[in-house]
Amino acid sequence: MRVVHHEEIGAKPVAAEGAERATIREIFTAETGAPTFAMRVFDLAPGGCTPLHSHPWEHEVYVLDGSGEVEGAEGATPLSPGMAVYVAPNEVHRFRAHAGSPLKFLCLIPVQQVCCR
């Protein structure tokens, strides 16, 4: 068993093209021994975003703090703490913090994948 506080894991800038004012903390990954899912925490500064992208795997997101929106093919949906998002494989998406608020969310993907680093 491994127990950590997410702030013990160093935050790295999201290096993917199109990301703005976004960091990622890779909590559990293949490198830390997680065999199935990778758990990451994203922090978006006010007005920050992940890139508009898609990939062949699903992921699940849980909003921890702040406010923002998830953008997809059908437009944008507001997000607030306690909301959860399922992103299907190959679905175009982007997460964006509102201009006056940061957005923090938990994101889980299959451990073999690399996304938004």
| pTM of structure | 0.92
Report the topology of domain 6-110.
Answer: Jelly Rolls (2.60.120)
Residue 98 CA to residue 78 CA, distance in Å, equals 9
Taking a C-beta distance cutoff of 8 angstroms, is the pair 72, 93 a contact? yes
Domain ranges of the chain: 6-110
Residue 6 CA to residue 9 CA, distance in Å, equals 6
- Tens place of pLDDT per residue across the chain (117 aa): 999 999 999 999 999 999 999 999 999 998 888 999 999 999 999 999 999 999 999 999 999 999 999 999 999 999 999 999 999 999 999 999 999 999 999 999 998 665 554
**Apex CA 82: angle with CA 78 and CA 83, to 5°?**
40
